[in-house]
Amino acid sequence: MTPLQEQAAAESRGGRGGASPLPTSDLDPFSIEFFKDPFPVHEELRELGPLFSLSKYDIYGVARYEQVHHVLTNWQTFCSSRGVGLADFAKEKPWRPPSLVLEKDPPEHDRARKILSKVLSPVAVKRLRQSFEAAAERKVDELLGRGRFDGIKDLAEAYPMSVFPDAVGLAPEGREHLLPYAGLAFNAFGPPNELREQAIAKATPHVAYVTEQCRRQNLAEEGFGAEVHAAVDTGQITSDEAVLLVRSLLTAGIDTTVNGIGAALYCLARFEDQWTALRSEPQLARNAFEEGIRFESPVQTFFRTTAREAEIGGHVIPEGSKVLMFLGAANRDGRKWTLPDHYDIRRVTSGHVGFGAGIHMCVGQLVARLEGELILTALARKVKRIRITGEPIRAFNNTLRGLTSLPLEID
């Protein structure tokens, strides 16, 4: 018997563990069926209790806000250094060298995090505003000229792709590898299902591109990439570490904002009153973006691994267990949010876990918010009406939630 099965058996005999037996579900949270409409299942998972097990993967799960937040903010018990996907790095070799931030615990994590925090600081991000704003206005003007376009390809992807790679200092050639690479990295957090295995089978050219572009000599003299490498000159990190930190920017900086902007756009296209509210008060753009993150949770899940025995909801979790956090379920937990299934651009969104929480909380969140704010502001100022003109097509990924196509008409 696995430790989890053993515990379930012990609990059903009235042994140690929780006051009541640990609820279990045979749900596959990495199946296409689930990805199509996760929200009713999220509700079932929250109702199972503060902690449950998922028999398909022999793991634990948390779907309520309180417990998701608890796991996120207790890194000493729920560690990241054994991987934040299903794979336990203590037992299997990671598909790529682990990230120096995402897949480390303090103290190693903090050294790397400090570099990225500085590179992506409020002052650093403020410097990008003018050029990011001009690009947002150009993009919306161009789309207004076309009238009909794809909200994902032509806007949610095109806008970040027009600003972020330049901000990093990437060469113009090869940027088409960025989104496939990120898609691969986010699929790789999942189980060895078709999504993950197919992505890994096609990984070689994307990995080769990213590995090469992270080197100092291939990055512009100014930009996030150069600033990471400048930390080598001051002795804060080695040049190998700088390469891996630039890799973090390329892995986490693009597909996330694409799906974040896509989420807000899809919400504003569906909920007419919210679009009207944004048009009358474009200053709400930043919160409309944030609420889109809460509502859709572009990053749906992450794992932690118990570094020691843990307890949640009166249930004991043995050391070395994988715990799946349903960020998307926490962000719609009625215990935390009023009218959780309403997209409301005036909502107080603070506390949502769409960017995570605690020491690993998204280090690039200011760049994401800047992009979101600026593209939604440009839309609010220039566009009168947004209409969905065809069937939205969902993109399937083991971690990311979003669309691959959203046919739109604007005037």
- Binding residues for ligand OVM, per CB under 6 A? 99, 101-102, 185-186, 248, 251-252
Q: Which is nearer to ligand OVM, 199 or 380 (CB)?
A: 199
Residue closer to ligand OVM by CB (options 68, 285) is: 68
Shortest Å distance, C-beta 234 to ligand OVM: 21
Nearer to ligand OVM, 186 or 289 (CB): 186
- Beta strands in 200-338, from DSSP E residues, in sequence order: 301-306, 310-312, 315-317, 322-326
We find the least distance from the C-beta atom of residue 409 to ligand OVM, in angstroms, to be: 33
DSSP 8-state class, residue 142:
H
Length of the chain: 411
* Residue 186 or 224 with smaller CB distance to ligand OVM: 186
To the nearest whole angstrom, how small is the minimum distance from the Cβ of residue 186 to ligand OVM? 5
Closer residue to ligand OVM in complex, CB, 213/251 = 251
- Which among 140, 136, 56 is positioned nearest to 322, based on CA atoms? 56
Q: How many CB atoms lie within 10 A of CB 12?
A: 11
Q: Which is nearer to ligand OVM, 17 or 190 (CB)?
A: 190
> What's the rounded Cα separation, in Å, for the pair 395 and 406?
11
Smallest separation (angstroms) from ligand OVM to the CB of 174: 19
Task: Work out how close the CB of 93 gets to ligand OVM at its nearest, in angstroms, rounded to a whole number.
Answer: 17
User: Minimum distance between the CB of residue 7 and ligand OVM, rounded to whole angstroms?
Assistant: 31
Q: Which of 101, 62, 103, 123 is nearest to 321 (CA)?
A: 62
CB 388 within 8 A of CB 152: no
Least Å from the CB of residue 226 to ligand OVM: 18
* DSSP assignment string, 274-306: HHHHHHH-GGGHHHHHHHHHHHH-SB-EEEEEE
Question: Nearest approach, Cβ of 207 to ligand OVM (angstroms)?
Answer: 13
Q: In this structure, how many other beta carbons lie within 10 angstroms of the beta carbon of residue 234? A: 8
The CB-of-359 to ligand OVM minimum distance in angstroms stands at: 13
Burial readout 201-227 (b: 16 or more C-beta within 10 A, e: otherwise): eebeebbebbbebbeeeebeeebbbbb
Q: Are 317 and 323 in contact (CB under 8 A)?
A: yes
Integer Cα distance of 407 and 301 in angstroms = 27
Cis peptide before 180 (omega within 30 of 0): no
In 258-291, which positions are buried (b, 16+ CB within 10 angstroms) versus exposed (e)?
bbbbbbbbbbbbebeebbebbbeebebbbbbbbb
Question: Between 49 and 169, whose beta carbon lies closer to ligand OVM?
Answer: 169
Q: Which residues contact 225 (CB under 8 A, 6 or more apart)?
A: 168, 169, 170, 214, 216, 219, 246, 249
Q: How far is the CB of 104 from ligand OVM (least distance, A)?
A: 9
The amino acid occupying position 51 is L
Of the pair 248, 274, the CB lying nearest ligand OVM is at 248
The nearer residue to ligand OVM, 180 or 340, going by C-beta atoms, is: 180
Distance CA 113, CA 291 (A): 26
φ/ψ region of 235 (left if φ > 0, alpha if ψ in -120 to 50, else beta) reads left
Among residues 101 and 243, whose Cβ is nearest to ligand OVM? 101
